[in-house]
Structures are given as C-alpha cells and as structure tokens.
Amino acid sequence: MRVSIRRPKPAKLIAAASLLSLTATLAACAEEGGAASGGGESVAYGATKEEFQAALEDMSPVTLVMQSTAPKGAPTGRRFEEYAAAVEDWSGGKITMDIAFSNSIAPQDQVDDAIADSRIDVGSVMASLEPDKFAAMNDLMNLTFLGRQGPVDGVLQFHGAMEEAALNSEEITKEYADNGIKLLLPIFSSGPAIVACTEPITGKDSLKGRIAATSSRLQVEQAEALGMSTATANYTELFEALERGVVDCVFSTLATSHLSGFIPAAPYFAIDMETGFGNAGGAISISKARWDELPLAAQQLLFDRVDVLLEANIRGIWDNMTAALGEIEKAKGSIVGLDEASVAAIKKINDEELSDVASSKSLEDGEAFVKGLQEDVEAWGPYVDGLEQTTDITYDNFLTDFNPADFDLKPYMELLWEKVFLSHRPA
C-alpha cells in the first residue's frame, strides 16, 4: 500500500512573497505591543549582522550557560550548537554560550528547575514530563496529532501552527513566566509520530494483541484503541526490548527510530497521512531573570536568531528521516498506510481528546483554544503549499525525490517570523 499526501490544490492564501510586504507594518506593531524588554537601543527586525554588532558595541560581554540534550556534534544537538554560534557571531562576541552537553547539568525533567535557579540559562524544557506544572502547554501537546503527517509538509505545518498557538496563548506564556522561564521557541518536534513493529502491519487485526512501547498517555489510549497492550521502555533499551520480545511495537518518529537504533529489529512501519498519533516535543527556553538583565538589542538578537535554531531542527529531522528510511530499506521493511478500521479507532480517541481540552480547567476558554488551534492548522496547509517548493513528497519517494540540503527554507522561515513571531518580538 502506497502512502501518499492527500491535500487540496495549493490555495496560496498567503504566499511568502505577499507577506514580505507586511514587514514594516508588523514591525511597527511589534514595537508597540511586543514583549517586555530591557533598556537600551532597539534594533529593527531584519537588521544586518553589522547593525546588531554596532548596537551591542558598548555591552559588557556575557556568557550564557546552555544545556544541550545531545553529545557534542550529534545531529540532535545541531540546533543548540548552531544557535550558539549564530548568537556569538551576530553579537560580535558580546554574547557567548558555554554548552553543557548530554544533559550534564540537569536531567530532562529538571531542566525547568535548573533554569529557574540559574544553573542553566538556556535549555530545552519538556512540559510533558511535568503536566501539573505546565498544564496549559500539555493541553497543546495533547493535540499534536492534528494536521498532515507527511515527511515535508507535515513537519512544516506542525511547527507553523503549534508555534502560533503557543505564542498566542496567555496561559502558556504565563505558566512558564510563573516558573521563572521565558520561552524562545515554544515547541519543536522530531517529526510525525509513527508506529513500528517487528512483524508486517496489514491492518487493525494485525496489531491486536501486540505489546507497544509508548511515551505518553495519549499514545497509550490510541494503542489500546487498536487492540494493543502497552509497556514502557527506556529510549536506549528499545532495540533489546524488541529483540527479546518484551515489546512488539514502538510508537516513535522516524528520526527517533534511527537515533535509538531499533529499526533492524522493527522495520515495519505504519502511518496515516491525515490522522495522527500523539506526539512529543520540547521548548527552548531562557531564564527570565537572566533575560530581564540583558539590553533590548541583546534580547532582540536572541529572539531573532531562533530562526537558526528552528531551521537546524527541521533539517535535522529530514537528515534523520533519510537515515531511517535507508535502514528500513536495508532491513527489507516497509511503511504502509493504516487501514480504515485503524484510522477510525484513532480518530475516535483524537476527537475525545479535543473535547477534553475544550473543557480544560487550565484554559480560560478551552473551546476557543481548540478552535483557534484547528484554524491555525487549517491555515498553515495552504501557507506551506503556497511556498511552491513543497512538492508531493511521500515516505515512498522521500529518498529519491527529496534532498534536504537543496530545500530552501528561507521563504518558510520568513513566513513564520512575519506571521507568528514578529508580533512577540521584544520592544
């Protein structure tokens, strides 16, 4: 069964080119209504490296402690290292980052505490690990199944819609601020979630009775709706768990499947291109106390160069997908579309989740939150199509028809910043 993208023809409601003409207007709005900031000279959005360096010429040098989730040079750590390099370069060396690799300062579920008590200045906070503390963000994370699930358009639509929903939610930004944290990049993922098994997946009946390793409450519910039982397995132990028969399947992403090394043991994957599984993601954050100490131009630079961080994350997803698909091919595995019965079972759980979030006590108006997110997801489909570089790439033709290195992300990043980030720029 071939897995293809089922999409409407590009509507190009707002193409990147048309948004470029709005830069001045949006910049003015940002200056009037952006986030609270430090004092000093303001640097306009779109300023050159030389203009930033001139604005920061009299700034006392600062070193920010950044924690990376990965070892030095690892693909998943690219976002941290490239962001640090860009900030240092654009600041003329006034802002440097001392990178602590492999969560060496604080484990992932304690990064928020380490940021709040100043052991870490910049790091990745996983709200899903602390649902009570970040309840509103978890409401958003519980809806990450929305949107396309394709390897290219799905990744771009996800980040556009989810960043927009998070930044526009007062409840989300407030709960981070209440914990001493300022959001830089509200959410990033490793690509669409997918199920991988040790034996071929031919339909819902073939999944019934299998044991699946899951990483969230929603995935547990989705797996059970497919007739599966669930278990937990450490990220580093998945290959052994699959080989020993402790679990038969894993809910993961292609990128994580490659990085965890379990594809040779479970090379049979299944996904639906429109009905998604629950996903996971982190948020790149900075100490609010540290942020408030910085001059305005430094805040603006840290904010603007998040584009480098996000682009590195997206390219990392695609590079890891390339490796994963190569491993699947080598193992004579496959990626198939879920059958109608499976899709119906997952959709029922997803619809229940939408209703639960709509009635969430963590949100002032849960119904409006859900409706707004659905509208964001719907809008970002044509936005992505309108970039004209997003072709009908499927998991079948990704290796032959898509080269991540040749894909120009600049129009998408400009679109995202002008549509979403610019109105939240420090001013």
Helix (H) or strand (E) holding 315: helix 306-330
Using one digit for the tens of pLDDT, what is the confidence trace for 376-425?
Answer: 999 999 999 887 666 689 999 999 999 999 899 999 999 999 999 999 99
d(C-alpha 183, C-alpha 173), whole Å: 7
Measured at the alpha carbon of residue 385, what is the angle toward residues 367 and 219, in degrees to the nearest 5?
45
**If pLDDT is split at 50, 70 and 90, which confidence band does 76 have?**
confident
Q: Which pTM does this prediction carry?
A: 0.89
Using one digit for the tens of pLDDT, what is the confidence trace for 111-170?
Answer: 999 999 999 999 999 998 899 999 999 999 999 999 999 999 999 999 999 999 999 999
Is the pLDDT reported for residue 26 higher than 60?
no
CATH of domain 16-28+38-195+275-424: 3.40.190.170
Rg, the chain, Cα only: 21
Question: Average model confidence (pLDDT) for the chain?
Answer: 90
The candidate with the shortest Cα–Cα distance to 310, out of 46, 86, 48, is: 86
Using one digit for the tens of pLDDT, what is the confidence trace for 168-225?
Answer: 999 999 999 999 999 999 999 999 999 999 999 999 999 999 999 998 899 999 999 9
Residue 271 forms beta bridges with which residues?
337
In the chain, where the domains are located: 16-28+38-195+275-424
What's the confidence (pLDDT) of residue 267?
98
Question: Which residues have C-beta within 8 Å of that of residue 289, sequence separation ≥ 6?
Answer: 118, 180
Whether residue 246 contacts residue 271, with contact meaning beta carbons closer than 8 Å, is answered with no
Whether residue 182 contacts residue 287, with contact meaning beta carbons closer than 8 Å, is answered with yes
The candidate with the shortest Cα–Cα distance to 191, out of 148, 278, 255, is: 255
DSSP string for 50-89: HHHHHHTTTSPPEEEEEE-SS-TT-GGGHHHHHHHHHHHH
Other beta carbons within 10 Å of 50: 10
